[in-house]
């Protein structure tokens, strides 16, 4: 936790947290840091996306509202996930949450159709707040990968530069 606190203080704040599997356990712990015994770790993202995310251990939380997180959360789970079961109690109706159930297992899925629309509706709230304009999509052909895809046209160059640095 000391490393995360130092990294966040030196490089943050960040707009959101995106986590997969055990990383989701850590993300949920970070969102509830004070209750988990880390009162000096204050991470306040605007959103969180958890894919195939493990559920925190209930005794870690001091109060019963273990799923009342300080930001909207998107949960993406696989119907055939052998690790995370469909009755996952972390999906709470009390918090601002969006849930996508895909047909695969414990993977980061390719989102299409209604799932992509749900993702766009969730993420566009934060995009518009940050950039002051709605997301605009365009069909693009990536010469490097020789594939066509849909890209966010506004700020797409800046986003590509940021991702390249990672």
pLDDT in tens, 10-49: 888 888 999 999 888 888 888 888 777 777 777 888 999 9
Contact status, residue 1 vs residue 39, Cβ threshold 8 Å: no
Q: The whole model's pTM is what?
A: 0.74
State the sign of the Cα–Cα–Cα–Cα dihedral 36, 18, 162, 166.
Answer: positive
What pLDDT score was predicted for residue 163? 47
Distance CA 165, CA 101 (A): 31
Proportion of the chain above pLDDT 70, given as a percent: 69
Mean of the pLDDT values across residues 100-126?
Answer: 88
């Amino acid at each position: 936790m000391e490393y995360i606190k130092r990294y966040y203080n030196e490089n943050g704040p960040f707009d959101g947290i995106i986590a997969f599997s055990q990383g989701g356990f850590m993300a949920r712990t970070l969102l509830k840091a004070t209750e988990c015994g880390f009162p000096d770790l204050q991470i306040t993202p605007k959103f969180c996306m958890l894919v195939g995310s493990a559920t925190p251990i209930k005794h870690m939380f001091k109060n019963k509202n273990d799923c009342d997180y300080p930001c909207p959360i998107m949960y993406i789970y696989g119907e055939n996930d052998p690790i995370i079961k469909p009755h996952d109690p972390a999906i709470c109706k009390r918090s601002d949450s969006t849930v996508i159930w895909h047909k695969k297992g414990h993977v980061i899925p390719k989102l299409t159709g209604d799932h992509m629309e749900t993702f766009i509706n969730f993420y566009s709230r934060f995009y518009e707040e940050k950039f002051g304009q709605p997301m605009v999509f365009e069909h693009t052909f990536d010469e490097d990968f020789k594939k066509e895809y849909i890209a966010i046209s506004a700020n797409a160059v800046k986003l590509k530069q940021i991702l390249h640095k990672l």
